Amino acid sequence: MMVILIFLLPQFSLAAGLVPCTGINCTICDLAILVNNIINWLINFSFAAGVVMVIYGGYLIMTAGLSPDQYKKGKDIIFAAAIGLAIILVSWVIINTTLYYLTGSKSWYKIECDLTK
């Protein structure tokens, strides 16, 4: 259990700094940046969880011995983790592309918008 926490602990500490503005001087651009920051944090957390699931599935396969049920369960866990990560990546591309065009940002990955345009 401690190994899992070691993998996930850096992801929880990255949650600090999600909000790009302070006080009541937030703009619509800050909202788009906040959405992008939350999505990027969730992607990082999902990859950490996906790695943990692949390790767990591999552990089940390695310790299956003569149990075909445990082997199949480990294989299914690894397959589900891979499919889940693929879905997350495709969703990330779609959402970041949408935010890129809505904010008129110069960079595709990092949202930078200016209300004076």
Q: What is the mean pLDDT of residues 24-49?
A: 82
Mean pLDDT confidence for 35-52: 86
pTM of structure: 0.69
Q: How far is CA 79 from CA 11, 48, 90, 94, 96, in A?
A: 23, 16, 17, 23, 26
The whole-angstrom separation of Cα 30 and Cα 8 is: 27
Each residue of 76-92: pLDDT tens digit? 999 999 999 999 989 88
Mean per-residue pLDDT for 4-13?
A: 55
